[in-house]
Amino acid sequence: MVLLENKQCADVGYRAVIESMANGFAYCKIVTDAEGRPVDIIFLDMNPAFEKHMGLIKKTVLGKRITEVIPGFFERKNDLLNLAAKAALTGESSEWEFYMDSSNKWFSMSLSGVQKEFFSAILYDITNLRLKYENLRKILDTSPDLIVVTDLQGSITDCNNKALEVFGAGKKEDLMGTDALDLFVSTCRDQVRDDMAKILSTGSSGNRIYKFLGANGREFTGEMSVNLFRDHRDNSVGYIGIAKDITVHIKMKEALEASEAKLRSIISSSPDSITVCDMDGVIMDCNQQTLNLLDFASKEDLIGKNFFDFVLYPDRSKASESMKKLLASGIVKHVEYAIRTRKKRELIVDASSGLVCKPSGEIDCIVTILNDISERKKAESEIKYLSYHDKLTGLYNRAFFEEELARLDSQRQLPVSLIIGDLNGLKLTNDVFGHSEGDRLLVKVAAILKRSCRTKDIIARWGGDEFAIILPSTSNKTAMDICDRITRFCSEAEKYPIQPSIALGYATKETASQDIDQVIKEAENWMYRHKLLDNRSVRSSVISSLQKTLFERSYETEEHAKRMQLISMKLGKALGLSNTEMDELSLLSILHDIGKIAIPDSILIKPGKLTHEEWAEMKKHPEIGYRIAQSSHELSYISEYILYHHEHWDGTGYPRGLRGNAIPRLARIIAIVDAYDVMTHARPYKGIMNRKEAVDEIKKCSGTQFDPEIAQVFIRLIEGMDEV
C-alpha cells in the first residue's frame, strides 16, 4: 500500500513536469489489421505543448484514431505509421522530422516503444536547432572548466577551449581521435578504465579524483564528473567529462533520487529557463538559460538565493497567490512577473510551475519554467502607443480621438465641449524654410495646446495642420477661455521662423439629444469663420514677422530699406513710372531680399569670401523670396520682380539667365539701386566706395550687368542728389 502511494505521488510529480514541458509529449497505441500490419494510431494521452504544436484539442482526440481526427493524414505522412509501428512492435526507437504548415516550423518526433503495441512520442521544435547548437558551443568554449567528450571506446570526439589550453593542444584536431586515457598519468589509467566501464554498465554518473597530465608534462589533481553522453533517443553514445582543479571546486549537493535525476535531465536539455526551488523559494538548481536570464555566470553564484528576491513589488503578492494555487492544484500556468536581474535589468517573465514529490509522498521541490516576454510586452506597448499617437507631436491621433469621443459621448460627461483648430502658415513655413521647420512649428503649437489644456482633456492631431480637443464635463464658457489662452500663448511664443498662429472654433454638447457629429461640424464652422476673418491680419503678421527676421539675421537693415525706398522712388519718378508701378517699386525696395531669411547665418554674415558651395546656396534666395511672395495675396504682384532682381542685362545673371527687356523693368530698376547702396555702405566682406567710385562702377557695368538706359538716368539722378 505504501509503495502504491509513493508511486502515485511520484506520478503526480512527473505529471506536473510533463504538463510544464516546452516539448510536446504523447502516449499512443498502434492499431494493426488481422495480418499484423499497422493501419492506424490511437491517441491515449498528450501534454499542452503537443496540443499546441500539432493543432489538436486533447479532450476531443483522446481514444480516437488519427484517421478520425485528421482524415487523409497518412496519405501525406505515411512514413510516421511505419516508424511508430517499429517502435511499438519491435521496441526499436526512431526519429521522424516533419514540417507544420500551420506554425511554419520544423519538428523532430522521437518515437520509443513502451510496451507491446504502445509507444511514446516526444516532439521537439528544431527550427532554431542550429542557433541553439551554436549558443551551446559558445557556452562550452567559454566555460572555466575543461570539458572532453569521447565515444564509448574512449576516443576523443570533442572538447572545449579550456581543455585545449590545459593539455597544450594548438587546435581541436590535435586531440580528436586520440585516446582519452593519455590525458591521465599512467598510474591512474586502469582506475579510469574500470570507472568508465562501471558507468556504462550502471548508467550512473560519477565524480572521481584523478591525476591529470597537462601541457609540458605538468601533473595536476582534478575532480572529474563523468556522465554518459546520450543522443536525443536517450541512447548511450559516449562519455562527457567535466573537470576542474580541486582547489576551486565547490561540491554539488547530493545526487537527487530517481525522480530528481529524470527532472535534471529535462532541465539540462530544455531550451526554456528552468529553476528548481524548495518550498521557501530558495533556488536549488537551474539550467544555463536561467543563468543567462538572471545575469549569473555560474550555478554556484545563483544556488542558495531566494527566487522571490528577484520579483519586483507589487508582483510579490501575485507570486504569493500563485504559490497558494500551486499547493492546492499541483500546477500553475502562465503567471506574469516583473523581475530585476543581477545586472539591474528589469524584465517581464511568464512563469509556469509544478510540484515534484519524493517517493515518500512529501513535496520535494518546485519546478518553474520561465520565459522572458519583455520584448513582446515592449513591442505590444509600442504598437499600442503608435496606434493611438501622432509620431511627430506626441499628441493623440485621430483614431484615438474618435474612440475617446465615442466613450465620452454620454449623459454622465455632459456638458462636453470640442475645440477644432487649424494652424496658420504651415505651408509657407514648409515652402520657405523646409519641412523640418514646418515640423518644428507643429511641435511648438502642440506644446502650446498641452500647456493651455487640463490633464483630463484629450488633445489630438486631427490632420496635417488641424488639431482637435475634447473637453469632458466642460461648459461653453470654459471652452472659450481655453481658446483665449491658446491664442495668448501663441502670441507670446518665439517668432522664429514665424509667429505661431492657429484659427480656433469651439462648440458644446449640452443635452443627450444633440448629435456629437453636429457639434464637431459647428466647431469646424466657427473655426473656418475665424480663419476667414483673421486671414488678412494673419498674412500681414506673417510677412511682418518675416521682414523683422530678415533685419535681425542679415545686413538688410531698416536703414538700408529706407535708403532703397528713397532712391527707388526718385528713380521711378525720373523714369516716369505710373502710380501703380511706383507703389510696387516702393514695396519691392523693402522686400526684394526677403528670401535671405531661409539662408543659413553662417553664409549670410560670413566676413570673408563665400565658397563655391556657399555661393550656390546664397543664389537660391530670389526663388525663396518668390515663393514667400506667392503665398501672400498682398505680395503676389511683386513676386516676379523679386525672382528676377539678380538677372543681368547681358544674360549672365541668375536664377534664369534672362537678358535685356525679358527682365521685368522694376527688377532692372531695383538691381541698380541695390548695387549702388551696397557699394556705398559697409559690409563685412567689402570696403566702402565713395559716390564717384560707385557711379564709375555703374557706368562700367552699364550694358552688361545693368540696363543702359536706366543706368544713364540713375547716374544723372545720383550726381544731382545730396549724399544719401
Residues of the chain with CATH 3.30.450.20: 23-125, 129-259, 270-371
706-716 pLDDT, tens digit per residue, is: 999 999 999 99
Pick the CATH number of 23-125 from 3.40.50.2300, 3.40.1080.10, 3.30.450.20, 3.30.70.20: 3.30.450.20
User: Quick one: cell of 621?
Assistant: 534666395
Cα gap 338→340, rounded to integer Å? 7
Least confident of 358-372, 384-398, 526-540: 526-540
| pLDDT digit string, tens, across residues 9-19 | 556 767 787 88
Mean pLDDT across 682-699: 80
Residues of the chain with CATH 3.30.70.270: 389-545
What is the homologous superfamily of the domain 129-259 according to CATH? PAS domain (3.30.450.20)
Beta-bridge mates of residue 423: 502
Q: What is the pLDDT of the chain when averaged over all its residues?
A: 84
Range(s) for CATH 1.10.3210.10 in the chain? 554-719
For the record, the C-alpha cell of 69 comes out as: 481526427
**In sequence order, what are the beta bridge partners of 98?**
107
Query: How is 193-216 classified by DSSP, letter by letter?
Result: HHHHHHHHHH---EEEEEEEE-GG
Residues of the chain above pLDDT 70, percent: 87
Question: With the CA atoms of 253, 256, 260 and 264 taken in that order, what torsion angle do they form, in degrees rounded to the nearest 10?
Answer: 50
> Tell me, what DSSP letter sits at residue 148?
E
Distance CA 408, CA 221 (A): 77
- Between 597 and 167, the higher pLDDT residue: 167
3-class secondary-structure state, position 696: helix
- pLDDT, tens digit, 9 for 90 and up, residues 226-283: 888 776 567 888 888 888 866 444 333 333 445 556 656 666 667 788 888 988 889 9
For residue 22, give the nearest of 251, 294, 266, 372 by alpha carbon: 266
- In angstroms, rounded to a whole number, what is the distance separating the alpha carbons of residues 308 and 339? 9
CB 676 within 8 A of CB 714: yes
SS3 (DSSP) at 3: helix
User: Under CATH, what is the fold of the domain 554-719?
Assistant: Hypothetical protein af1432 (1.10.3210)
pLDDT for residue 542: 58
Which has more confidence, 632 or 389?
389
The end-to-end CA distance of the chain, in Å, is 122
Predicted pLDDT of residue 251: 37
As a whole number, mean pLDDT of residues 105-109 equals: 82
Q: Is the pLDDT confidence value at 476 over 80?
A: yes
pLDDT of residue 533: 62
Render pLDDT for 610-650 as a digit per residue (tens, 0 to 9): 899 989 999 999 998 898 888 776 678 899 999 999 999 99
CA atoms within 13 A on the CB side of 637: 10
- Which residue type sits at 442? L
- What is the grid cell recorded at 248? 576551486
Residue position matching grid coordinates 480656433:
504
Beta carbons within 10 angstroms of residue 438's beta carbon:
23
C-alpha to C-alpha distance for 349 and 377, rounded to whole angstroms: 10
Instruction: Using the predicted structure, report yes or no on whether residue 536 has a pLDDT greater than 60.
Output: no
Fill in the amino acid letter for 339: I
Closest CA to 498 of 435, 408, 416, 437: 437
Specify the CATH superfamily of domain 389-545.
Reverse transcriptase/Diguanylate cyclase domain (3.30.70.270)
Instruction: Tell me the backbone φ, ψ of residue 261, rounded to 5 degrees.
Output: -65, -40
Indicate the CATH number of 270-371 among 3.90.1650.10, 3.30.450.20, 3.40.1350.10, 3.40.50.2300: 3.30.450.20
